[in-house]
Amino acid sequence: MQPPVSSLCVYCGSSMGARPIYREAAVALGRTLGEAGITLIYGGGSIGLMGATAQACLGAGGRVTGIIPTFLDELEVGMTGLTELIRTENMHQRKQRMAELSDGFVVLPGGLGTLDETFEILTWRQLQLHQKPILLLNIAGYWDHFVHLLEHQAAEGFVKPQHLELFQIVDAVDDVLPALAANPPASDDVRSKWT
User: In this model, does residue 137 exceed pLDDT 50?
Assistant: yes
Domain layout of the chain by residue ranges: 7-139+166-177
Per-residue model confidence (pLDDT) at position 184: 72
User: In this model, does residue 89 exceed pLDDT 90?
Assistant: yes
Least confident of 27-31, 42-46, 175-179, 190-194: 190-194
Distances (CA, A) of 19 to 15, 27, 111, 141, 181: 11, 14, 14, 12, 29
Average pLDDT, the chain: 93
Closest CA to 109 of 146, 56, 64, 62: 146
Task: Write the single-letter amino acid at 96.
Answer: Q
For range 15-19, the mean pLDDT: 97
Per-residue model confidence (pLDDT) at position 73: 85
Cβ burial, residue 137 (10 Å; 0-12/13-18/19+): buried
User: In this model, does residue 191 exceed pLDDT 50?
Assistant: no
Task: Give the class (CATH, top level) of 7-139+166-177.
Answer: alpha beta
Cβ burial, residue 98 (10 Å; 0-12/13-18/19+): buried
pLDDT tens per residue across span 57-72: 999 999 999 999 999 8
What's the pTM value of the predicted model, to 2 decimals? Answer: 0.92
Task: Write the single-letter amino acid at 33.
Answer: L
Confidence of residue 185 (pLDDT cuts 50, 70, 90): confident
What angle is formed at CA 187 by the lines to CA 182 and CA 189, rounded to 5 degrees? 130
Tell me the backbone φ, ψ of residue 84, rounded to 5 degrees: -150, 140
pLDDT tens per residue across span 94-119: 999 999 999 999 999 999 999 999 99
For range 130-142, the mean pLDDT: 97
